Amino acid sequence: MLQTKKGDFIQNMTSIKGIGNDILEIARMQKSIERQGKPLLNRLFTAKEQAYCAKYNQKEKRFAGRFAAKEAIAKALGTGIGKKLSWHDIEILADTQGKPIVHFSEKAKKQFHNPLMLISISHSDAYATAIAIWLE
């Protein structure tokens, strides 16, 4: 059985439609933020994501983790980021326990038939990594 973000259990999961993962050097994200600043953050992250990450001392780790998660989700969906899916079509927020939760734009919900996506984000001093599993 699988528990959803609302605490309900999925008993008859039919299949995994896609899996994606990504890894990113945190220093690379930090350098990009230093060079490009707010325009980069606005292009890659929603206002809510930026507010969440800004609360932390090492915010570059949070941004790198969310970037990796968006890449992993795009890979699981089979599209990548581009014409069919934009950075803002995917929003990664956290529940009250800090667990990352995926929110899709209305466009993405319609295009991918309201996808159920599970994600996990991890980071060390040097890397951020994420995995995404698209469930049917």
Please report, for residues 46, 97, 110, 119, the alpha-carbon distance to residue 89 in angstroms, rounded to integers and kept in the order given: 9, 24, 11, 16
Mean pLDDT on 102-111: 96
pLDDT surpassing 60 at residue 2: no
pLDDT surpassing 60 at residue 37: yes
Catalytic residue, candidates 38, 59, 83, 123: 123
26 with 128: CB under 8 angstroms?
yes
> Is 75 among the residues known to form the active site?
yes
Catalytic residue, candidates 5, 59, 75, 99: 75
Domain residue ranges in the chain: 25-135
Minimum mean pLDDT range among 4-8, 82-86, 117-121: 4-8
In this structure, what token pair is assigned to residue 33?
């933020």
Task: State the pTM of this model.
Answer: 0.88
Average confidence score pLDDT of the chain = 92
Residues 25-135, CATH architecture: Alpha-Beta Complex (3.90)
pLDDT digits (tens, 9 = 90+) for 46-55: 999 999 999 9
Exposure b/e, 73-93, CB count within 10 A at least 16 = b: bbbbbebebeeebbbbbbbbe
> Is 61 among the residues known to form the active site?
no
Q: Provide the pLDDT for residue 125.
A: 94
